[in-house]
Amino acid sequence: MKSFSIYRSFLFLAIVLCLSAACFAQVGVGISVSFGPPAIPVYVQPICPGPGYIWVPGYWGYDSDFGDYYWVPGTWVLAPEPGFLWTPGWWGWSSGAYFWHEGYWGPVVGFYGGINYGFGYFGTGYVGGRWDHGQFYYNRAVNNVNVTNIHNVYNTTVVNNTTVNRVSYNGGPGGITARPTPQEEQAVRERHMAPVAAQTQQMQVARSEPQLRASANQGKPPIAATPKAADFRGHGVVAARQAGAPYHPPAERAATKPAGSVPPPPAAPAHARDLPPHSQPSPPNTAEAHPDEKYARQQQQLNAQQNKEHEQLAQQQEKEHQKAEKQHSSEQQMQQMEQRHQQQTQQMEHQHAQQQQQLQMRQAPPPAPHAAPKQPPR
């Protein structure tokens, strides 16, 4: 029982650590679907709202509550830091089902299933723009940019040598057959970040819109793209011109549920004030009073330190909010601040999970020595 209790503690901490580190690795969200998503609809790109914004193409999400796909409109999002590009998420066929692979920000665009999302994401890499000395330059050949407001532009015609289709998944019946190159496989191992708060908000609003469900719009969403994240009623919102291909949802779709016992990871906290205080777990029973008392003191000190860091970061972020409101900061400045706060919060929780794991490892009892084998009688 003792070893099981310690093992359970290690398992819990490993799960926390993995969730906290989600911004540093590409992960699926634990959802599999028995039928594939609709094709990518045909739509135009809203005009870029300002310098530093990068296009995040629309995609089909899946809502297990309704057993239905729903369209997450494409939108412009500020890069979390200079030099970072977006690798879109993608649906892939595996073991008899379609699994979602989460997109991420990083210095190199990785594999995204060979899906042609358009606007510079034509199945491999990104040709919609590039970074140069901390400034993002837009390729006007594939982006809708007003050169009066944005001067960092160039014009390079893109020749797409791949077969043109709007299939939205890799593998399986009728799916894209692309496979990652060694460079794309390396990209996923580079430092990168999860979708920023604006992208999460875009997905959440889309999920709440019944008209964006594939069964309602037959693959032709009435809101295909937005110039601003989470603003589905503002100026510049565009509808799909047509479905990428005829779509007829299967009759049994309502019964489809997330496969397996792996739930989607919780939404990453955006601010330190959103985090619950650290509570002290029960000390492992090692049958030795002195080590248990020492562990309890160390755990209490660690909890006090981490809760203090929570409070300090929350106060710092609140001061920055108040300062930004007082200075009437622009929308772009506010979004950059929110992205910075989200990164700070996630990095702090990642560090705290590592500290907890290290403390548990120091407390683990040494393995019992193996008994010497008995000598056979002579």
pLDDT tens digits along 204-251: 999 999 999 999 999 999 999 999 999 999 999 999 999 999 998 776
Window from 12-16, 112-116, 208-212 with minimum mean pLDDT: 12-16
pLDDT of res. 278: 64
pTM of the model as a whole:
0.64
Res. 283: pLDDT tops 60: no
Res. 100: pLDDT tops 70: yes
pLDDT of res. 375: 53
pLDDT of res. 214: 96
Res. 354: pLDDT tops 80: no
Cβ–Cβ < 8 Å for 223, 211: yes
Give the alpha-carbon dihedral of 218, 163, 206, 53, to 10 degrees: -150
Res. 111: pLDDT tops 80: yes
Query: 40: number of CA atoms within 13 Å, CB side?
Result: 27
pLDDT of res. 27: 38
Cβ–Cβ < 8 Å for 59, 239: no
Query: 273: burial class by Cβ within 10 Å (0-12, 13-18, 19+)?
Result: middle
Res. 60: pLDDT tops 70: yes
pLDDT of res. 264: 42
pLDDT of res. 77: 97
pLDDT of res. 4: 38
Query: Among candidates 221, 254, 184, 281, which has minimal Cα distance to 42?
Result: 221
Collapse the DSSP code of 253 into the 3-class scheme (helix H, G, I; strand E, B; otherwise coil) and give the result.
helix
pLDDT of res. 30: 57
Res. 257: pLDDT tops 70: no
Q: Give tens-digit pLDDT for 173-187.
A: 999 999 999 999 898
